Structure 1
């Protein structure tokens, strides 16, 4: 009789544990979709508050951080921007990688060359940022 009671209790405990794990997993998926940042909105805000160079540099930093979190990577803080981009490109589909590389090509001369971005650079950066935002929104299931 005690063995039967123990088996029933064990089955109940296992069942409840599995339900809890499924619930936690569902919440993580929902949280991931909420984590998609509006990079274009952040960029626009930074453009209003700062000069164009600072807006590009800060937005790119935010973008890399968000993509790292979205990819569930824990990258070393000692990596260069290009190394982070390489690691992210390996983790994401080509259409994200292409845009990320294009953004880096705009970012690099501004960050490391010390030059001020032209109007065309700002437009291209925002355009690629918007495309990337849409693609990431699709991936995590967020309509846009």
Structure 2
């Protein structure tokens, strides 16, 4: 606020800020702006960045569907599982899995009454598994 009042002429505040250029490769956004999704998909020079960008773009494209699913889960009273487990699995399915390139995730298999499908009605599969962190052999 102090910088804005002085037309950004003052020094940076004592708390450090991270510039957007440092967090995100701006080139990928410029390529998207110029050529759309095809330009990103066909660009082999920034494969790692383009994959992350496309995952985010796909999530934003389907965000309304995911919001509706999460809202249904928050409003419902499940009969076969606990409310906490239902919300945990719904967030895993509708949010977290959508932000990783392969959409694969695992919900802790020890959750009480882990459902096989998402409780919002989309019938998406819920994947239970071992979510513990195991050190590599020789490091324990």
TM-score (norm 2): 0.29
Q: Which has the higher contact order (CA 8 A, sep 6+)?
A: 1
